Amino acid sequence: SASELAKWAESFDYLLSDKIGIDLFKDFLHSEFSEENLEFWLACEQYKTSKSSKLASTAQKIYSDFVAAQAPKEINLDSKTRATTISNLTCPTRHCFQDAQKRVQALMEKDSYPRFIESDIYQRAVLRAQSM
């Protein structure tokens, strides 16, 4: 609805809590060739709800996909956050990606999110919702 779309423009957290909002944001990031940040964030959200028996293997997959140097979807982390994350992987808990996820979320909120709100993708969605 138009009111839902308006809320996405008010709060990045609200956008990330809405499945349709995430899908639209992902389309926008794909158009900018920068969807790895959102994919990492979503992988971390899913990781937090993983079964205990799957934590180690899932953590390793997230590491190899996003955190490792030259990873296929390598995210941009400062050296301290990357080192902390790698250290956390020696004994994975549900929170081992917490710092990295917060950094990536802050980066998306500061960088990609404002461009998304101004983008044709978002503006067309608003117009479609208003005409319903």
Please report which confidence band the pLDDT of residue 18 belongs to, taking 50, 70 and 90 as the band edges: very high
Look at residue 132 in the predicted model and tell me its pLDDT: 82
Q: Is 122 exposed, middle or buried (0-12, 13-18, 19+ CB in 10 A)?
A: buried
Domain boundaries, the chain: 2-130
User: What would the two tokens of residue 44 be?
Assistant: 């971390």
Cα–Cα dist 16/83, whole Å = 26
Cα–Cα dist 18/24, whole Å = 10
Of 68, 46, 64, give the one whose Cα is nearest residue 55: 46
Give, rounded to a whole angstrom, the gap between the first and last alpha carbons of the chain. 8
Cα–Cα dist 52/66, whole Å = 21
Instruction: Give the SS3 label for residue 58.
Output: helix
- What's the mean pLDDT when you consider all of the chain? 95
Cα–Cα dist 36/13, whole Å = 18
Look at residue 73 in the predicted model and tell me its pLDDT: 97
Of 16, 17, 27, give the one whose Cα is nearest residue 109: 16
* CATH superfamily membership of 2-130: Regulator of G-protein Signalling 4, domain 2 (1.10.167.10)
Look at residue 13 in the predicted model and tell me its pLDDT: 96
Cα–Cα dist 108/115, whole Å = 10
Q: What average pLDDT does this structure show over 13-39?
A: 96
Look at the pTM and tell me if it is higher than 0.85. Answer: yes
Cβ 13 vs Cβ 105: under 8 Å: no
